[in-house]
Amino acid sequence: MKFLKFFSKKNYSSNLRGNKKPKFPKELSLLPLRNSVMFPNTATSIVVGREKTLKQINDAEKNREIIGVVAQKDETIENPTYEDIYKVGTASSILRISRLSENNITVTIQGLKRFKIKRIIREEPYFTALVEYIDEKENKDVETDALFLGLKDLASKAASLSKNIPGELVQMIQSISSPATLADLVASNLTISVKEKQKLLETFDIKTRLRLVSLHINRELQALEIAEKIRSDVVGNVTKAQREFYLKEQLKAIKKELGESDEDNDIAELEKKIKDAEMPEEALQEAKKELNRLSKMHPSSAEYTVSRTYIEWLTDLPWNRYTEDNLDLDNVKQILDEDHFNLEKPKKRIIEYLAVRKLKPQKKGPILCFAGPPGVGKTSLGRSIARALGRKFIRVSLGGVRDEAEIRGHRKTYVGAMPGRIIQGIKRAGAKNPVFMLDEIDKLGTDFRGDPSSALLEVLDPEQNFAFSDHYLNVSFDLSQVMFIATANVLESIPPVLLDRMEVLSIPGYSEEEKTMIAKKHIIPKQIEEHGIKSDDIEFEDSAIVQIIRDYTRESGLRNLEREIATICRMTAVNKAKGENKKTVITANDIHKYLGAKKFFSETALRITRPGIATGLSWTPSGGEIIFIEASKMPGKGNLILTGQLGDVMKESAQAALTFIRSQAEIFGIDEKFYEKSEIHIHVPAGAIPKDGPSAGITIFTALLSLLTGKKVKKDIAMTGEITLRGTVLPVGGIKEKVLAAKRAGIKTIILPLLNKKDVEELPKEHIKDIEFFYIQSIDEAVGKSFEEEINLPMQKSIYV
């Protein structure tokens, strides 16, 4: 049943006129209204669909009967019982019935008089009740008049303000002369709950009813006035800005409702970040421009994210953030000494560098490059410099970088574009003046994607790097305060233009004694700390450290030593965590318990078991190494077979050695025709690693001579040097590393070209302790020294003249 309410002059006046006085029977059929209250002197339309009610309306119409309209307490109830209806209602007459279809009619009813239900007489086919009518007496006193006029006034105002009330109602209100009628008419139009309306229906005293209705209408009038004010404010003289604000607020509300992100907050946040970033003018303009673009984009678009990330990059960079340098040189020296054993040369150079900076801050210092095998402390020295200066430390590996964009970034129009490694590093550092380590600068590559070294050149050049341009940022960044330090294993593969800009400090590697000292002073305390144990929990005897160095590592640096010591510390930590409290003393005899079987053996003793093998010294990027050159002979037609991935230079030097032996066969006491009946095979293990260079010349010669004379080479002798076809010995490189490698391998004598003597003399004393150096100018000088049994050299001096 749908409820419609209306006022029409006709309905209203028909009642006023009261053409035909209705008769009020004692029994009334009851018509429950779901969501409204029927008042006397008002008319209303209801749509009837229920069969029960249809029958009731039909019966009432047929018999011209009055019906009792009552309100339902709960509008959701479909079939109300007696308990579900209010007990005061309005006797009403049917004015008109419009039949839309058989089962769907609209009935217009007119409220006539209040009644009270005394009791229910019948429940079927519809409720019929015995009722008592309420006769309303209107006292014409001053108070009633005043209330009546007041209500009239309020009602007229409310009617003129409300859009929902037809205009005629205002005139109608003015023409009403009965206070009770006015109160009921206004009451039925109030926008209040059914319960409150019912209360007004049940207020039989006219004065009280007038007062209550006045109260309600007054409240409604206030609400209407406020709404009107807001409306006129908004529609009236709003300026453009206000209008925009208003619209934006509405848009925000709509977006919130749709669950979209609050992009305004985002923009405001970025705006603040831009303000706080202290950018130079160029970057500031760029950031603002981008923010302006961003504010016009839809937050869920891909472009929005790209643009936002770009602004964030700009704002996150330390445009104007520095750390204060600590240029107290004594303090710097103390920190460098604390962190690193020895390394006097690099340390001294660093102090000089800082001294100049202190006296002349504007002077652009050179770029330092630490060169040496892995694990000799290049990185940790850089870290230590940063600590001493109070600067941030950043390390960026350049190994395998082939693309210029890796250094300088991709333009931001590329999908997934990012700034290059330099700018990324600066962001991570969070300061404009970090110590910036460019690791493995010797492993830079070049290919079709551009030359990264030219971009690096700009980074490292003090004349240019105050305005380094990264493609992604698109604005320049000042790198002039950064202290760049490069590291490299090999200098030869550093692009010459870069090498030219750098000052190289070599760190060649450590001897066994130095390693022992470093382990005791630095590595062991560091590992103890890192594993959460105390120096009271573990002690390494010196002999144990030496044992680890000899049997478990073979390196120039300290990486493996550190790893093995870490393994032992870890095991001690496990024991301690289990509750064991006694101190663990690590002795040489215990080592295998912790580290398993020996990893390295003194190979020289094992390898040199027969004639045809000689020990050489080679240089690799990871330090010096000893190599064993093996020669073998078999029947054949004089071929020379070379295996072990030898490079051209090495192959040629093998040819040269063989030619020289053949030319001097008689002198060496070798059958001159050996070459006709046999083939010679020279192999250099490890076969999988490519080798090259001329420095194996004298070793190949010695191996061949041993093979052909059948005399063994001494076990504890190693050699390096290039030979010419005529037996002259030429100097070679990498002496420091080679000497250290020989020492590690337990070599007692090293044969070197005479011209390398100066290199040996430059080495620290402890590196050459216990080693005999034997310098030669021609190969025959080596022959007397290298073999276990003497080789017959009757015409020694004439060999090479």
Pairing mode of beta strands 67-71, 27-33: parallel
652 CB contacts (<8 Å, ≥6 apart)?
Answer: 694
Closest approach of ligand ADP to the CB of residue 399, in Å: 12
Residue 167 sits at the vertex; the CA angle it makes with 161 and 171, to the nearest 5 degrees, is: 105
**Which of 347, 711, 736, 738 does the annotation list as catalytic?**
738
Scanning 603-695, the segments in alpha helix (DSSP H) are: 603-607, 648-663, 665-668, 674-677
User: Which token pair is 146?
Assistant: 């005043």
CA 636/CA 676 separation, integer angstroms: 8
The verdict on 397 binding ligand ADP (CB under 6 A) reads no
Which of 559, 570, 662, 726 is close enough to bind ligand ADP by CB under 6 A? 559
Is position 375 an interface residue for ligand ADP (rule: CB under 6 A)?
A: yes
Q: Which is nearer to ligand ADP, 525 or 647 (CB)?
A: 525
Distances, alpha carbon 79 to alpha carbons 45, 123, 127, 499, 603, in Å: 20, 12, 11, 99, 106
Of 552-560, 639-647, 721-729, 755-763: span binding ligand ADP (CB under 6 A):
552-560
Q: Which among 49-57, 91-99, 374-382, 612-620 is the span making contact with ligand ADP, rule CB under 6 A?
A: 374-382
Of the candidate residues 86, 304, 310, 341, the single one contacting ligand ADP (CB under 6 A): 341
Q: Give 129's strand partners.
A: 28, 120
The one among 412, 522, 736, 743 contacting ligand ADP by CB under 6 A: 522
Q: Would you say 34 and 69 are in contact if contact means Cβ atoms under 8 Å apart?
A: no
Residue closer to ligand ADP (CB basis): 346 or 616: 346
Based on CB atoms, which residue is closest to ligand ADP, 343 or 528?
343
Q: By CB under 6 A, what part of segment 500-519 binds ligand ADP?
A: 518
Q: Which of 376, 538, 656, 741 binds ligand ADP (CB under 6 A)?
A: 376
Determine which residue in the list 279, 343, 385, 752 makes contact with ligand ADP, applying CB under 6 A: 343
- Name the segment binding ligand ADP (CB under 6 A); options: 161-169, 354-362, 372-380, 405-413: 372-380
Task: Report if residue 569 touches ligand ADP, rule: CB under 6 A.
Answer: no
- Residues 6 or more apart whose CB falls under 8 angstroms from that of 290 comprise 307, 310, 311, 314
d(CA 193, CA 198): 9
Closest approach of ligand ADP to the CB of residue 398, in Å = 13
- Give the interface segment with ligand ADP, choosing from 199-207, 302-310, 318-326, 551-559 (CB under 6 A): 551-559
- Give ∠ CA 754-759-763 in degrees, rounded to 5: 135
Question: Judged by CB under 6 A, does residue 310 bind ligand ADP?
Answer: no
Nearer to ligand ADP among residue 522 and residue 736 (C-beta): 522
Name the one range near ligand ADP by CB under 6 A: 34-42, 339-347, 491-499, 627-635.
339-347
Instruction: Output phi, psi for 735, to 5 deg.
Output: -60, -45
340 near ligand ADP, rule: CB under 6 A = yes
The CA-based dihedral angle spanning residues 49, 52, 58, 62, taken in that order and rounded to the nearest 10 degrees:
-170
**338 or 672, CB closer to ligand ADP?**
338
Q: How far is the CB of 425 from ligand ADP (least distance, A)?
A: 17
**Which residues are paired to 749 by β-bridges?**
717, 772
Query: What CA–CA distance (Å, rounded) separates 721 from 731?
Result: 6
Does residue 633 interact with ligand ADP by CB under 6 A? no
**Phi-psi domain of 367 (left: phi exceeds 0; alpha: psi -120 through 50; beta: other):** beta
Binding status of residue 380 toward ligand ADP by CB under 6 A: yes
Using an 8 Å Cβ cutoff, are 431 and 392 in contact? yes
From the CB of 577, what's the least distance to ligand ADP, in Å?
24
Query: Please, what sign has the CA dihedral across residues 364, 439, 441, 558?
Result: positive
CB of 343 to ligand ADP, least distance (A): 5
Helix (H, G, I), strand (E, B) or coil at 363: coil
Q: What part of residues 2-31 is at the interface with ligand ADP (CB under 6 A)? A: none
Q: How far is the CB of 553 from ligand ADP (least distance, A)?
A: 12
Q: How far is the CB of 335 from ligand ADP (least distance, A)?
A: 13
346 belongs to the binding site for ligand ADP (CB under 6 A)? no
Of 188, 695, 706, 786, the active-site residue reads 695
- Catalytic site includes residue 333: no
Asked if 379 touches ligand ADP (CB under 6 A), the answer is: yes
Report the distance separating Cα 131 and Cα 730, nearest Å.
136
Question: At 658, phi and psi to the nearest 5?
Answer: -65, -45
Residue from 326, 342, 506, 663 in contact with ligand ADP (CB under 6 A): 342
- Concatenated DSSP letters of 373-387: STTSSHHHHHHHHHH
3-state secondary structure 49-118: CCHHHHHHHHHHHHCCCCEEEEEECCCCCCCCCHHHECCEEEEEEEEEEEEEECCEEEEEEEEEEEEEEE
> Is residue 283 a contact residue for ligand ADP (CB under 6 A)?
no
Cβ nearer to ligand ADP, comparing 318 with 374:
374
> Which residue's C-beta sits nearest to ligand ADP?
377
Cα-Cα-Cα-Cα dihedral of 138, 140, 141, 145, to 10°? 90
160 C-beta neighbours (distance < 10 Å), count: 12
- Residue 517 CB, nearest approach to ligand ADP (Å): 9
Q: How many residues bind ligand ADP (CB under 6 A)?
A: 17
Of the two residues 555 and 759, which places its CB atom closer to ligand ADP in the complex?
555
- Which residue stretch of 9-17, 28-36, 337-345, 657-665 sits at the interface with ligand ADP (rule: CB under 6 A)? 337-345
Active site annotation includes 663: no
CA dihedral 307, 308, 309, 310 (to 10 degrees): 50
Decide: is 377 part of the binding site for ligand ADP (CB under 6 A). Answer: yes
Residues of the shown chain interacting with ligand ADP in the complex, contacts defined by CB under 6 A: 340-343, 374-380, 518, 522, 557-559, 562
Catalytic residues: 695, 738
